[in-house]
Structure 1
Amino acid sequence: MTDSFLARIPTLADAELRRYLEHPHGYKTEAVEAALAELGRRGAAIPEADLARVREALRSREARQASQAGRLLGTDPLVRKHRIRRVIAGILTAGLGGAALIYLRATPRMANPLGYEPEDTKKYLRELEVYGGKLNVLVTEFRRWFEGLWQGRSLAATVAVLTLLLAFGFWFVATRLAPDGEGR
């Protein structure tokens, strides 16, 4: 996407490039800087006051974004680590507790009154393959497996795995948003 954006900037008219400078808060920082560079390559005169205003608008936006991220978890490294741990503990407690409750309350799957599953017979699988090919058989097996994840004790395992992924994802993002690389 950046390559297409960088390729597009030189095709814009001066008026369109100046729009980036007039409203820097409405565009990504890279886009505003690319517009500035392109205007400079074209030899367009940009008053120093306008340059200072654009750079200040970009700096204030970046500072505002950093303070919003810091406000959520704190800027002090020790407080930040403590809050991250508490949030992760809450996610794990709720998710794994819910998974345990689901596991304990799940009833075993009832047996088919026919004594077998018709979908598991060779005849059924052969018909699937004849009508839709090997891919049809694979897709049908995948669909049955996926549906099985959301029932009974399999649901408890699914909730537990999703909880672990959510906790890890939160930890990963929260430590990467730390100001000046703190919290890692």
Structure 2
Amino acid sequence: MEDMKSKNANLPRYLYVASVVVLIVGLLSAGVVYYFAADGGNHGLGYNVVGGSAYAAGESKAYLRDMEMYGGTSGRLIGGFNQWLASLWHGKRLAYVLAISAAVISYVCFWVARDLELFATGETNGG
């Protein structure tokens, strides 16, 4: 029983360390990706074939018209959202995603560790 309490007492400390490690590694990774990423530019995500014609994804009026004709307004909006989401995994945008993800995960680890410490000492978390 006493051994279990000592393991639980170390948990907040491990979470604080994990929080710092995640933040440092995440921000360093984001910096490396940002440094080596190609400068923006208009890089098409590919081509879509609609009705036997190839269109640059999301760039031509005919493609947008066909998307709206086949899928309605919601189909066009979902297609645009899908292209935006796919663009987050390339270049400098990936660096931003990594930095924000590292900060959020680090904050969650820190918050859980702080709450575990407060719970162990019997204090309440404001409220």
1:104 and 2:43 equivalent? no
The residue that corresponds to 1:135 in the other structure is 74
- Mapped contact 1:102–1:155 kept (Cα < 8 A): yes
The residue that corresponds to 1:162 in the other structure is 101
**Which one scores higher on RCO, CA 8 angstroms, separation ≥ 6?**
2
Measure the CA separation in 1 of the matches of 2:87 and 2:38: 14
- Mapped contact 2:58–2:80 kept (Cα < 8 A): no
- Mapped contact 2:15–2:110 kept (Cα < 8 A): no
1:71 and 2:2 equivalent? no
Of 90, 96, 115, the residue aligned with 1:176 is 115
What is the CA distance between 1:144 and its match in structure 2? 0.6
Unaligned runs of 5+ in 2: 45-54
Measure the CA separation in 1 of the matches of 2:98 and 2:37: 13
Of 4, 13, 21, the residue aligned with 1:90 is 21
Looking at secondary structure, tell me which structure has more strand per residue.
2
Cα gap change, 1:70 to 1:139, in 2 (>3 Å): same
Measure the CA separation in 1 of the matches of 2:23 and 2:77: 34
Measure the CA separation in 1 of the matches of 2:98 and 2:43: 26
Cα gap change, 1:181 to 1:162, in 2 (>3 Å): farther
The residue that corresponds to 1:57 in the other structure is none
AA of the residue aligned to 1:169: V
1:123 and 2:62 equivalent? yes
Q: What SS is found at the alignment partner of 2:24?
A: helix
- Mapped contact 2:40–2:92 kept (Cα < 8 A): no
Tell me the number of residue pairs that the alignment of Structure 1 and Structure 2 aligns. 111
Q: TM-score, normalised by structure 1?
A: 0.51
- Mapped contact 1:69–1:177 kept (Cα < 8 A): no
Q: Which structure: larger Rg? A: 1
- Give the superposed CA RMSD: 3.0
